[in-house]
Amino acid sequence: MKKINAYENTLAEIEALKKKLEALENDDELKKSLEFKKQLEALMKSYDVSSDELLNLLGGDKTPAKASASDKRRGARPLKVYKNPETGEVVETRGGNHKVLNAWKEQYGKETVESWLAA
């Protein structure tokens, strides 16, 4: 019975998709878009221009493919400078997972090390 239900549901989905496709095929806006795409591809082919070259030509190169560090939503973390008063050693970090800093926190305690933060 499960297979029969699955079969009937699939047929119903196919019929719904056919109706949706028919509605799209009768849409004038879609017809214009498809015709534009067809003509543009023919023009690109006749001038031997790729889609990447066309985008660059139209100014698409203003947005880089990969987001740089400055494009991230969250800004860069501030630089923190810790100076160990006993050894004079300086640690500069933007995150809290620094090897030397973690060793200091184990040895001297978190509060003590945080007091070494340079203003």
Q: Indicate the DSSP class of residue 72.
A: S
The torsion defined by the Cα of 97, 102, 103 and 105, in degrees rounded to 10, comes to: 170
Count of CB atoms situated within 10 Å of the CB of 113: 19
CA distance 67 to 78: 20
In tens digits, what is the pLDDT along the chain, a chain of 119 residues? 889 999 999 999 999 999 999 999 999 999 999 999 999 999 999 999 999 888 888 886 565 556 565 556 778 888 899 899 888 899 899 887 889 989 989 999 999 988 998 86
- The model scores a pTM over 0.85: no
Rounded Cα–Cα distance for residues 88 and 11 (Å)? 77
Euclidean distance between CA atoms 16 and 29, whole angstroms: 21
